[in-house]
Structure formats: C-alpha cells, structure tokens
C-alpha cells in the first residue's frame, strides 16, 4: 500500500479499483475478494483500503511532510 504515500491521482484511481474488487458487485452474490482475511486474524482488506484512501486524500491535500507532522 505504498501508493498512499504519493498522494498522486493515479494512486487514488488504483486504490479505488482495488476497493471495487473488494465490494460485492451484486446484492445476491458477494465478491470473492470481499472476505479476504489473513489466517487467524481480524484483518479486513476492505477496511485497510478505506484507511489507505483516506490517508492518500489527506496527503494529496496537505503534503507528506504536514501529514506526518500532524501525527
């Protein structure tokens, strides 16, 4: 998920594509990627992509130095 550090529009587009793969395309049939989980953990790939997109937007708005300066 290093794409987030760029704040680049193309990175955002790539991350949104991943996000779409993780979401069900039809209410009757869940995406096979929607349930991606690491063994014996509560890892949720969809939530991770959501967090990465939020960080990417913040970095695009503020810049990387300010993003880490405010943390």
Question: Chain-centre distance of CA 51, in angstroms?
Answer: 6
pLDDT tens track for 28-51? 445 555 555 545 556 788 888 888
Spatial distance between the Cα atoms of 49 and 70, rounded to a whole number of angstroms? 21
pLDDT, averaged across the chain: 76
pTM, entire model: 0.62
Q: How many domains does the chain have?
A: 1
Helices 45-62 and 9-22: crossing angle, nearest 10°?
Answer: 160
Domain residues for the domain of 25 are 2-69
Q: What is the pLDDT of residue 61?
A: 92
């Amino acid at each position: 998920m290093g794409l987030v550090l760029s704040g680049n529009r193309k990175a955002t587009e790539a991350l949104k594509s991943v996000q779409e793969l993780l979401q069900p395309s039809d209410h009757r049939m869940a995406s096979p990627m929607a349930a991606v989980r690491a063994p014996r953990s509560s890892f949720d790939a969809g939530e991770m992509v959501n967090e990465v997109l939020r960080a990417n937007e913040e970095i695009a708005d503020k810049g990387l130095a300010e993003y880490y300066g405010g943390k």
